[in-house]
Structure 1
Amino acid sequence: MSIVSPLGLGTGIIRRTVGALAALTVAAGIAVGAPAVNAAPGPTMPVEFDLSRYQPVDPTTFRSLAYGDNGRSFFTTGRWMCQIGQAYRYVGCQGRPATAPPTATGAAIAGDQQGPWWVNREQTYRFGSTTGFRPPLLGVGKRVTIAGVTCTVPRRDVVACRTGERALIFTPAWHKFFFPSWDTLGPGNNAVAHSANPAPRYLPPGLQYWNQLPANPPAPK
């Protein structure tokens, strides 16, 4: 079974067997459902999405007025190119961190309902302007909010974009995807609407334990 998002991104639903994981857990001598001895604290806002750290910029600079671009906005950080639109809370970033699949050309979020999904070469999703619009630079320490999407440039070679409950961070060495808690494998849910994160050992300590963003402060509209 597969989902084709309104972005034109053909995305296969990831299916995994939860029962096998539970069996392994019991075999290891851990009671299923028992509280963890050293449970991690609740999610905190990653610095990539702490908007107080970033200076807002005028969003109109990034919008292509060409009919063929259908109202989309584009920016580059130098290494990564991201596009926002044409609908509310749609965003995609082009590029391949070291932890991405070999065939990936970027990742996309569809309307805060699906994603981030990896975009692969054989899919129809297109990155970049179809009319020759040249994406302006979004500099380090800046942020822009367009159509329910906020993107920041925390450091050189790093980009981060979020919708409501979904988000992505790209660095040369690793990627991190965020998604709502209900979109997580568990009892009664054996399929998810997003691509996977790398193993925790590849991520900074503050991003290893949680795949959700805190509810407060809420995402910009």
Structure 2
Amino acid sequence: MNCPSCEAENPEDSSFCEACGARIQLACPACGAEYRSGARFCRACGAALALQDAASPAEVAPAVAAVPISFAGGRYRVNKLLGEGGKKKVYLAHDTLLDREVAFALIKTEGLDEAGRSRIQREAQAMGRLGSHPHIVTVFDLGQELDQPYMVTELMGGGDVEGLIEKAEDHRISLEQALEVAQETCRGLEFAHGRGIVHRDLKPGNVWITEDGTAKIGDFGLAVSLDRSRLTAEGMMVGTDTLT
């Protein structure tokens, strides 16, 4: 079966192209049976079918219509938008190679200069150097496709602490939960410092929560190595201005 978008050959039972991620099989609105792009009538029930291009935006989930639905040769399949910050859009994605759900962050490139790209690479390198730790978000991959940088990390199902506080009654979490988050964050910081890395932008929006409630530090974009002679110039502020 050839993909109607890129002409790549795929197994007969494929619903999406392994090369470009375009949809190959569509579902009949009358009976739900799958059919190939370009078919005029459903072979299962005979219903008339709307002609659609396999890669048309209408066939892409609304949350990801503005981005490709797959990256890295089809390895990462983007499913839905999880959240958006000033520098990233984070999507739920499926790693087809390792068969796992991941957080797929698309870095906003508008106005991004070489220094900004270096910061992205530095963040991934810093988190990568820390390896696997129970209180630091694990980075799985860093790449670029069609001049679009992306980062793949473990999925944090509980969101960030900032969101946790916003959802809490009176915007306050319990003392017990606050202490637990603080202790786990300190363990992550202690580990990072032991590896020679200073975060420099620690805040509720950069501490993430797993589905089981474990706190993990992420977003090491301003991290620096302790072996640098001066971390900042005299009088220079780093991090988030309202929290520094």
Q: State TM-score, norm by structure 1.
A: 0.26
Bigger radius of gyration: 2
Q: Higher helix share goes to which structure?
A: 2
